[in-house]
């Protein structure tokens, strides 16, 4: 092996590939060096760590973690044994958590959000009331507004573009789902007010279609695809 220590990052944190033959003390020195180099990159990151390439005693593992946390601002959340069953379990747990955040649990907020009011949630959100211009609703999951959406709504804030925003009266200033963002037309305030008056409001839903936000009426079939 050309390098005694290699840092690889994976979905949950970092994987340390350690050389078998280097003496442990020397290896610790290399680890310290490596992490100091990349401290800026990992700044304040919270991550899981796993080891590969070498059998470590619990004391040795502890010493490595100690070296990392003492010399950098990285927070080691947990140590993952590098065996596949374990990884599968972690993956499953993480996915479960993601899907829970994205859709299956939610919070209800009752009341109208006025300009300057920001409502944030790590789960889906149901707002019973209006979201006025200048107000903002942010959720890691879906957003349902039982009222008029006239302000801004960010769904799937952690990057999930399968989320949706639904409202009884859909008139958003801006909608973002995952990383896709859409904004209202550049019409004058009075003109859009008039236009809104003319048409009767119907419940609509915003989803991501391609790389655009698509707003369409809610029908019986809408939720079959979500």
Partner 1 sequence: MSEVIVITSGKGGVGKTTTTANVGTGLAQLNKKVVLIDTDIGLRNLDVVMGLENRIVYNLVDVVEGNCRIKQALIKDKKYPDLALLPSAQTRDKTSVTPEQMKKLTDELREEFDYILLDCPAGIEQGFQNAIAGADRALVVTTPEVSAIRDADRIIGLLEAHEIKQTQLIVNRLRMDMVKRGDMMTVDDVCEILAIKLIGVVPDDEQIVISTNQGEPLVGTDAMAGKAYANICKRLLGEEVPFLDLDKKENVFTKLASLFK
Q: Which residues bind partner 1 (CB under 8 A)?
A: 112-117, 130, 132-135, 189-190, 193-194
Closest CA to 38 of 74, 83, 70: 74
Radius of gyration of the chain (CA): 24
Min CB(146)–partner 1 separation in Å:
15
* Closer CB to partner 1, 3 or 115, in the complex: 115
Instruction: Give min distance, CB of 185 to partner 1, in A.
Output: 16
Dist. CA 167–CA 189, nearest whole Å: 20
- Residue 224, class by beta-carbon neighbours within 10 Å (0-12 exposed, 13-18 middle, 19+ buried)? exposed
Complex with partner 1: residue 40 or 197, whichever CB lies closer: 197
33, HSE (Cβ side, Cα atoms, 13 Å): 10
- The nearer residue to partner 1, 34 or 114, going by C-beta atoms, is 114
User: Looking at beta carbons only, is 78 or 193 nearer to partner 1?
Assistant: 193
Shortest Å, Cβ 189 to partner 1? 4
Minimum separation from the CB atom of position 170 to partner 1 (A): 17
- Report residue 158 as tokens: 């952690």
């Amino acid at each position: 092996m050309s390098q005694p220590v290699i840092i690889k990052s994976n979905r949950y944190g970092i994987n340390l590939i350690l050389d078998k033959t280097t003496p442990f003390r020397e290896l610790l020195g290399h680890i310290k060096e490596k992490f100091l180099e990349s401290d800026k990159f990992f700044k304040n990151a919270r991550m899981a760590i796993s080891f590969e390439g070498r059998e470590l005693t619990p004391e040795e593992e502890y010493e490595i973690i100690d070296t990392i946390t003492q010399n950098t601002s990285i927070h080691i959340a947990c140590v993952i044994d590098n065996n596949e069953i374990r990884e599968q379990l972690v993956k499953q747990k993480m996915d479960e958590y993601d899907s829970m955040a994205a859709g299956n649990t939610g919070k209800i907020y009752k009341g109208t959000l006025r300009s300057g009011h920001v409502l944030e949630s790590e789960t889906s959100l149901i707002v019973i009331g209006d979201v006025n211009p200048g107000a903002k609703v942010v959720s890691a999951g879906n957003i349902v507004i039982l009222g008029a959406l006239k302000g801004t709504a960010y769904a799937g804030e952690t990057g999930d573009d399968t989320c949706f925003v639904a409202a009884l009266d859909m008139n958003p200033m801006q909608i973002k789902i995952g990383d896709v963002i859409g904004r209202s037309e550049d019409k004058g305030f009075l003109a859009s007010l008039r236009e809104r008056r003319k048409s009767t409001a119907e419940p609509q839903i915003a989803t991501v279609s391609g790389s655009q936000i698509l707003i369409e009426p809610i029908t019986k079939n809408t939720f079959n695809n979500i």
